[in-house]
Structure 1
Amino acid sequence: MSEKTPDLSKTAAYDYFLPKELIAQDPAEPRDSSRLLVLRRATGESEDTIFHNIVNYLREGDLLVMNDTRVLPARVEGRKINESGEGAKVEIFFLNPGARHNEWTALVRPGRKLSEGTKVALSDDFRVAVGARLEDGLRTIIFGESDEPLALIHKFGRTPLPHYITETHADPERYQTVYAKREKENSVAAPTAGLHFTPELLKKLEERGVPHKFVTLQVGLGTFRPVKAENIAEHIMHTEFCEVPGDTADAIKETKERGGRVVAVGTTVVRTLEAFAQRFGEVRGGALSTKLFINPGYSFKAIDALITNFHLPMSTLLMLVSAFGGYETTMRAYREAVEKRYRFFSFGDSMFIE
């Protein structure tokens, strides 16, 4: 392989240079004032604009599909209890309910130093126990038999912003989409492509003949964990739960039949729709768990266009975008975004690939 044609099976092919100052620490205000890079797959041409101008690039008859999940206040700090009272700081990052009603799966730091049965004080009068070690460094957290874990996570937890957001002034609600549903509060990270939409923009799109429908993917570690393997085929995706309502499946079918485009708002929507299309040959109503890892060479079956943020180097999300946009076209667009001082990652700017 020459330098001009990298081996796309290698993780290193998805690396790129990003100055630290381009990592957005605060979101644009208002939401739809972020920048938008429009990328046309057929020609490789790109165009700079502002996100609220997305109305000029979507067509009457297109369908937006959005992830209505909400971010759980999953990060909880406590203190290890030892013989002399409260000791070292412990951070618990709750992920999902466990096998029993009073158990949750979590990342715990410092996990290796906490033996099974260790008690952690979350407040002066409330404690949990660190349970069994699970695969991939996860632990079981055990609440009391009569406790309501979700209510307690809400009481003690805070929104788990990504590690690269270190100096934000944003309200935690700014890390939620305007359409996030409280009953779908089951994710550890936001579907960030949706952060650019406002209620007014969604209404304007509806009036122009571009409706929107929802799916749910519970964003977990699988979406954001780094690829550490040299060969991407050796990377193991974590399972994530997703569901498609019947009315969304019907709208997708109708859109396809009339020649409209199914526009995925974010990579989590892509994984959801493509997982259903792979499993059933079409997008249908229902629920499933997926480990789908989309990278170059994948044949898309459900989506026709994509709205997405700019993702971390060597991440599964960048690999997915490269699969849809074309590797060379996508990586060239990323270099262009760096040169033009776009803002990157969760609170950053966005790209529309058509």
Structure 2
Amino acid sequence: MDIKEFDFHLPEELIAQTPLLNRTSSRMLVLDKETGETNHQHFYDLPSYLEAGDCLVLNNTRVLPARLFGTKEDTGAKVEVLLLHQQEGDVWEVLVKPAKKVKEGTRITFGDGQLVAECTELKEHGGRIVRFRYEGIFLEVLESLGEMPLPPYIKEQLEDRERYQTVYSKEEGSAAAPTAGLHFTSELLQEIQAMGVEIAYITLHVGLGTFRPVSAETVEEHDMHAEFYEMDQETAEKLKQTRARGGRVITVGTTSTRTLETIVRDHGDYTEARGWTDIFIYPPYEFKAVDALITNFHLPKSTLIMMISAFAGKQHVMAAYQEAIEQQYRFFSFGDAMFIK
């Protein structure tokens, strides 16, 4: 399948640069995956589309302040480092820019030497393995020196770091936010629970693939990145009970979706599991773990638009995207939402 089938023209002014003052006031395009019918709502209307007995699955990963700006110890040249994932101890896989300046043995200092990274291995696409040296607790050093790793299409500065975190973020480890969850407030979640809707949590740490475009000419040629996931027994039991009583499993975001589909694919049912997933979902694909999906509007030709095209049908999704453009919806990380039912 040609990548161009998932392309569309997006006016640059529709790329949201800043989060809305109120998380729940974003717009929400409701798409019926069977008929292609659409409705235009706001995110605070979500409870009217949920029913007692449903289960909402949230990704509780927390974004690290993973972007560091340092200098080469020998030349003073400026280097940007983006943490991707921790391999073990103080050894991390990172992206560096400009990559040509960082060879094996290169040492980069941050914050007047508070943190030092030594490159130990070269990877492709600007990837490097580095070992950090510091005094104290790594996450505290990172909090003082790092910046939030906003996507490259966001040019504005983020005044409040917490606006690039979900209100339920807990498990540190992501290089980007699971952005479908940014629309929730604690009050909205309480309202949803009061209706008799279960809330369940998984963890998937968003990683390298978020920053890599699909460069292959066909979908089948694309090499999918791997991300770490974890689901505990409590969530597994909630999901089994939801299906048993006829409720819907509703994932918040493509990250939650990938996690559940991986687990059910590998184990045959919802079960406690942890590991790395490189599942690549594109049409045609039969979903086994997910009944409805809350998501944002994604980049053209991205693996994410391919996934939701598999979920709701490519024709329905591309038509809904065109409608969203005509209706001036806000796109990407700080943009508006879709509820696919």
1:148: how far off? 4.8
1:95: how far off? 1.2
Most deviating of 44-53 and 217-226: 217-226
Aligned AA (2:110): L
Aligned AA (2:90): N
Q: Match of 2:111?
A: 123
Output one character per residue of 1:235-269: Cα deviation in whole Å (capped at 9) or x when no partner.
11111110111111101111101111000000000
Output one character per residue of 1:174-203: Cα deviation in whole Å (capped at 9) or x when no partner.
00000001xx11000101000001111111
1:1-354 superposed matches below 5 A: 9-82=1-74, 87-99=76-88, 101-126=89-114, 127-144=116-133, 148-181=137-170, 184-354=171-341
TM-score (ref. length: structure 2): 0.96
User: CA 1:294–1:336 in 2, change beyond 3 Å: closer, same or farther?
Assistant: same
Identical columns (%) = 50
CA RMSD of aligned residues (A): 1.5
1:170: how far off? 4.0
Output one character per residue of 1:140-184: Cα deviation in whole Å (capped at 9) or x when no partner.
112238775444323311111111110245411100000001xx1
Structure 1 residues without counterparts, runs of 5 or longer:
1-8
Partners of 1:244 and 1:261 in 2: how far apart? 18
User: CA 1:149–1:341 in 2, change beyond 3 Å: closer, same or farther?
Assistant: same
Q: 2:34–2:312: 8 Å Cα contact kept in structure 1?
A: no
Secondary structure, aligned partner of 1:143: strand
TM-score (ref. length: structure 1): 0.93
Q: Match of 1:5?
A: none
Secondary structure, aligned partner of 1:250: helix
Partners of 2:21 and 2:50 in 1: how far apart? 23
Partners of 2:111 and 2:43 in 1: how far apart? 43
Q: 2:176–2:210: 8 Å Cα contact kept in structure 1?
A: no
How many corresponding residue pairs?
Answer: 340
Partners of 1:156 and 1:209 in 2: how far apart? 43
1:291: how far off? 0.5
Aligned AA (1:259): G
Aligned AA (1:112): K
Partners of 2:136 and 2:67 in 1: how far apart? 18
Q: 1:296–1:319: 8 Å Cα contact kept in structure 2?
A: yes
Partners of 1:81 and 1:72 in 2: how far apart? 24
Q: 1:26–1:170: 8 Å Cα contact kept in structure 2?
A: no
